[in-house]
A and B are shown apart, each in its own frame.
Chain A
Amino acid sequence: MMAAQRMTIAKALNAALRKAMEADPKVLVQGEDVGKLGGVFRITEHLQKDFGEDRVMDTPLAESGIMGTAIGLALRGYRPVVEIQFDGFVYPAFDQIVSQLAKLHSRSRGAIKLPVVVRIPMGGGIGAVEHHSESNEAYFAHTLGLKVVFCSNPTDAYWMLQQAIASDDPIIFYEPKRRYHEKGEVDLDVPPTLDLFSARVVREGSDVTLACYGPMVKTCLDAAAVAAEEGRSLEVIDLRSVSPLDMPTLEASVRKTGRLVVVHEASGYVGMGAEIAARVTESCFYSLEAPVIRVTGWNAPYPPSKIEELFLPDLDRVLDGVDRALAH
């Protein structure tokens, strides 16, 4: 028995992969530089040494190839966990993800199951060059047949990744790369009661609901702490899954507070906030005291890193969104 341990999100993901590989010999890991190097973020560190090159594969530099062969391996009964090195490099694999991974189950009327996990380090805030800071969840959430989840803390990193690997549906698993080194207590023995696709109320409040996921959860919690000093009570919901969406948890909160601010790094235009706002408006219209507010990356490509702080929602912009919700 291992007691609760303090670890980073990165270490928790590594531990989750290790545990899943120990539990099921069909679990494989493949991607660029995941072997000897342990991945550019070291998420797969030491796994090749311990599980061998057949189970932890340094692939050729070709994302469509990585994705297509992962699907083939799944057809043969394996459970591949694919690492895409950075968010902006998933696009060569887009065709395989959208045309095959998402659709083979329905095309075959359920005969084919593809338990494939696609891990993507996502988001900005690390001072990187172009293509290394993207939030592309809306493309995948828009593709029915895929499920899309985000971890935001070490405990979720540890358990959600194992739940994703155990799921028989294909899952896009986003990791907030700028939070990789944030630490938290992880109880490695007690499985969570929450299933993979449920949202979690991470801070209770009564004035405004903040809905967020991935790297923005910490931003929203920080904002809620500052708001509390100013006498405002914010409820923070970590959505954890953006496809499917846990609407009951969100609706219960909005019925209580009457106000909703959705926060994400991706541009607002046709982003997750739009889907959430539409749904909440449909289901909670008479509880809403104000229109649903979105605080998001601006409607533009991700900028050069020197001004990324202007692009990304931060504590002040979240509080500004709260002000706008309360102005009604």
Chain B
Amino acid sequence: MPVSDNDVADVSREPVAVDHHESTLRSRRRGPYDGGPDMIQLLDPEGQRVLHGGAEEYAHHVDALTPEDLRGFYRDLVLVRRFDLEATALQRQGELGLWVSLLGQEASQIGCGRALRPQDHAFPGYREHGIAWCRGLDPMRLIAMYRGVDRCAWDPAEFGFHTYTIVIGNQALLGTGYAMGVQRDGAVGTGDPERDTAVVAFMGDGATAQGDINEAFVFAGVNDSPIVFFCQNNQWAISEPNERQMRSPIYKRADGFGFPGLRVDGNDVLATYAVTKEMMDRARSGQGPSLIEAWTYRMAAHTTSDDPTKYRFSADVELWKLRDPIARFKTWLAHEGHADGAFFKAVDAEADELAARVRTATVEMPDPGMDEIFDHVYVEPHAQVEQDRAALRAYLDSFEDEGVA
């Protein structure tokens, strides 16, 4: 049974009433829970299969999944959460400069990530560890960035996964331009599933306020580009709730830019998979962009530097615990007989191994040398950069001569 609307206790954030159009809060008051009547849901918080918000249209993508696929989703969810928790612990112990937790958003990312094809290209923000996982990136690459060892040292072309982007919103325009390139390459609408390509660009709820995001919507709309904008609405932009960023639900905004917008239960991995699959297929077949708003919740602090007790109620967090993405999926898998106790145990053991591997590899990760400062500033050498490289080397050598370093 869905959590009732009355359980949404926090009305203190209610904005000044806006009569002329629907506010986000108002849409919250109408079930299945506070995501409103349009929220697409296939699996409710109790682990029951449901068809909410027009889910009928998307359910066939789930029906096409094998039990093995479904067990794979579960494994992804558990391993990514475990990795994330381990990284948080490593930060607490001083091994990382910062960690940005995806706790609570696993289903948004795994469902989306598993709907991508190898030739697709993803443009993440800084919290998309689950997408990175689905793209085959070694999680240690993410650790390296947050440890302060590099700034995202992977080749995006190798993984179909762009570097993390910290400046809010920048990546949406990059993704749109990339999608425009895909169009010019004739890699849309050929009907060849190995060739047709789509792009997915990620953003948060707060990011939707940025000019870059809105400009990306304009460019994608005008060009009919093969891109899916995937917005994880985790309800918070650091300390600011949705009400500080918008007066109309995110998914409804797409209409004004001329493409479809959908809200999906971001804690329902079946729904995020099905909806993303549908919209990516649509983009690949040449029908243009779309916006998916995944309705979810940031269960942890914004980052390890943040203290959410300053601005939000723990009752909210408790409420969202009841909507946990992994618990409901596990219940359903067991109930359907797709997985048994032995399987769940094996996944837990694998999670322990992953955590241990991440811990060891982190602690042993060496610091970069001085050349990391100067390498790759340009393709061709730059005289003043090289002059400084030589100056720093001579300076460091001067300590060695003195036997200091």
- Whether a CB of chain A sits under 8 angstroms from the CB of B62 is no
- A306/B367 contact (C-beta < 8 A), A60-B244, A92-B212, A131-B167 known: yes
Do B387 and A320 touch (CB < 8 A)?
no
* B356, CB-defined interface residue at 8 Å: no
- The size bracket of the interface on B is 35 or more
Asked whether B374 is an interface residue with its Cβ less than 8 Å from the other chain, the reply is: yes
A-B contact count (CB 8 A): 118
How far in angstroms is the closest Cβ of chain B from A46? 11
Among residues of B, the one whose C-beta sits closest to the C-beta of A311 is B373
CB pair A33–B240 under 8 Å, yes or no, is yes
Kindly state whether residue A111 has any CB partner on chain B within 8 Å: no
Q: Which residues of B contact A308 (CB under 8 A)?
A: 148
User: Chain B residues with Cβ under 8 A from A327's Cβ?
Assistant: none
- The answer to whether B311 touches A300, judged by C-beta atoms less than 8 angstroms apart, is no
Q: How many residues of A contact B (CB 8 A)?
A: 39
Shortest Cβ distance from A39 into B: residue: B239
B145–A307 touching, CB < 8 Å: no
B273 at the interface (CB under 8 A from A): no
Q: Which residues of B contact A40 (CB under 8 A)?
A: 238, 305-306
Which residues of the other chain, B, contact A320 by a CB distance below 8 angstroms?
A: 395, 398
Q: In the complex the two chains form, what is the Cα distance from A129 to B126 in whole Å?
A: 11
Question: Are A298 and B392 closer than 8 Å at their CB atoms?
Answer: yes
Closest to B238 in A: A33
Interface residues of A in 41-95 (CB under 8 A from B): 58-62, 64-65, 88-89, 91-92
Interface hits, A3-55 → B, CB 8 Å:
32-33, 35-38, 40
Interface of A is mostly: loop
Q: Is A182 positioned at the interface, with any CB of B under 8 Å from its CB?
A: no
Q: Does A205 make an interface contact (CB < 8 A)?
A: no
B372 and A299 form a contact (CB under 8 A): no
CA distance A24 to B245 in the complex (A): 28
Query: Which residues from A are CB-within-8-Å of B398?
Result: 320
A310 interfacial contact with B, CB 8 Å: yes
Interface string of A297-318 (1 = CB under 8 A from B): 0111101111110110000010
Q: A61-B206, A65-B211 are in contact. Are A298 and B245 (CB under 8 A)?
A: no
A61-B237, A310-B373 given as contacts; is B385 within 8 A of A299 (CB)? yes
Chain B, Cβ-Cβ closest to A89: B167
Give the Cβ gap from A54 to chain B, nearest Cβ, in Å: 12
* B151 and A130 form a contact (CB under 8 A): yes
In whole angstroms, what is the CA distance A59 to B377 when docked?
35
A35–B239 CA distance with the chains assembled, in angstroms: 9
The answer to whether A303 touches B373, judged by C-beta atoms less than 8 angstroms apart, is yes
Task: Find B168's partner among A35, A38, A61, A268 (CB 8 Å cutoff).
Answer: A61
Minimum CB–CB distance for A69 against chain B, Å: 12
A304's contact among B168, B246, B368, B388, by CB below 8 Å, is which?
Answer: B368
Q: A130 vs B164: C-alpha distance in the bound complex, in angstroms?
A: 10
- Cross-chain pairs A/B with CB under 8 angstroms, 18 sampled: A32-B238, A40-B306, A61-B168, A61-B207, A61-B210, A62-B211, A89-B167, A92-B212, A128-B98, A298-B392, A299-B387, A300-B385, A304-B149, A306-B147, A306-B148, A306-B149, A307-B373, A311-B373
Question: A residues touching B (Cβ–Cβ < 8 Å)?
Answer: 32-33, 35-38, 40, 58-62, 64-65, 88-89, 91-92, 127-131, 268-269, 298-301, 303-308, 310-311, 317, 320
| Residues on B facing A (Cβ under 8 Å) | 97-98, 126, 145-151, 166-169, 206-207, 209-212, 237-240, 244-246, 305-306, 310-311, 367-370, 372-374, 377, 382, 384-385, 387-389, 391-392, 395, 398
A88-B166, A298-B389, A306-B367 known; 18 new pairs, CB 8 Å cut-off, are A32-B237, A33-B238, A35-B239, A36-B311, A37-B238, A38-B310, A40-B305, A40-B306, A62-B209, A62-B210, A65-B209, A129-B145, A129-B166, A298-B392, A299-B385, A299-B387, A304-B372, A306-B148
